[in-house]
């Protein structure tokens, strides 16, 4: 019997846990605060920012959106970041990506105080994951590992295949799974025989953004399939990288899209805000 991994349900459980911690802090006169810098009017970014606002307000985190025009200069944006670095009332903040093309994203992210970098993109925080001493964990990879653990899916000693090598999901997830004692393979656009690799996976993670990439004959019977893809089909319906209908006949457990990894990403951000409060 296929197990559908319910990200919405687990995200709700974590929200309730965070609420208790936030209430305990409130009794000490501390209200966790999160700020988000939004540059321009990218539609997807607006949706993500609103989702973060909704969850923050639900659990009692102060939330501030700083909206900036898409013509802002690198220097001006860096000044906004420095103000937030110095603001003792803001525990954590992030710059919503993507940024307009004229801005140097890597340089911008490196200007964030590492102790307030709740998206975990600052080079120092990335390096700490590599060294096995993380301050924060990147939100989507952390959400994936939480889904596995709360569904009692064994990680130790398992063969994990990750498709996608982005700095946001693929690379940090590989490091985090290594820390959990999995055996990890990363596949990408230059991988010679993708099917041969995926058929070895006890846990298969697809984080590419290509609808229909993973079909049933690429999945080992009983494997756990984690779909991080976010795509729109020809009817504008949200879909992942995995052919859910066919792969669910083969897999032992699978995440749906929507309702799988997505809700976890936002609650892991809120967990990072709580870590920042205690830094």
Residue 20 Cα distances to 25, 26, 117, 259, angstroms: 9, 10, 23, 24
- Whether 279 contacts 30, CB under 8 Å: no
Listed residue (2, 3, 6) closest to 257, CA to CA: 6
74 is catalytic: no
Distance CA 204, CA 216 (A): 12
96 is catalytic: yes
52 is catalytic: yes
Distance CA 3, CA 16 (A): 24
Residue of 113, 116, 117, 119 marked active site? 119
How far is Cα of residue 105 from the mean position of the Cα atoms in its chain? 18
Question: What are the structure tokens assigned to 249, written together?
Answer: 């006949």
CA geometry: angle 83, 118, 145, nearest 5 deg: 175
Count of CA atoms in the C-beta half-sphere (13 A) of 27? 5
Residue 197 Cα distances to 7, 23, 211, 221, angstroms: 26, 47, 19, 14
Listed residue (147, 137, 49) closest to 95, CA to CA: 49
Strand-by-strand arrangement of the 92-95 sheet: 62-68, 33-39, 92-95
Catalytic center residues: 52, 96, 119
């Amino acid at each position: 019997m296929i197990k559908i991994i319910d990200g919405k349900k687990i995200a709700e459980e974590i929200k309730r846990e965070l609420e208790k911690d936030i209430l305990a802090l409130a009794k000490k006169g501390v209200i966790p605060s999160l700020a988000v810098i939004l540059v321009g009017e990218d539609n997807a970014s607006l949706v993500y920012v609103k989702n973060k606002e909704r969850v923050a307000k639900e659990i009692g985190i102060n939330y501030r959106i700083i909206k900036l025009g898409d013509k802002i200069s690198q220097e001006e944006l860096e000044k906004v970041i420095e103000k937030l670095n110095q603001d003792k009332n803001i525990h954590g903040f992030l710059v919503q990506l993507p940024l307009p093309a004229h801005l140097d994203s890597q340089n911008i992210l490196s200007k964030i105080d590492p102790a307030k970098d709740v998206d975990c993109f600052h080079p120092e925080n990335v390096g700490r994951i590599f060294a096995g001493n993380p301050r924060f964990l990147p939100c989507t990879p952390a959400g994936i590992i939480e889904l596995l653990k709360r569904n009692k899916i064994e990680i130790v000693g398992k063969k994990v295949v990750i498709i996608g090598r982005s700095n946001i999901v693929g690379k940090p997830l590989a490091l985090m799974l290594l820390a959990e004692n999995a055996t990890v393979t990363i596949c990408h656009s230059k991988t010679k025989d993708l099917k041969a690799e995926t058929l070895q996976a006890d846990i298969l993670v697809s984080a590419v953004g290509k609808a229909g990439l993973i079909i049933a004959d690429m999945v080992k019977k009983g494997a756990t399939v984690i779909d991080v893809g976010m795509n729109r089909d020809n009817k504008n319906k949200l879909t992942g990288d995995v052919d859910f209908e066919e792969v669910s006949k083969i897999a032992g457990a699978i995440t749906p899209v929507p309702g799988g990894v997505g809700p976890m990403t936002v609650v892991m951000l809120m967990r990072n805000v709580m870590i920042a409060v205690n830094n």
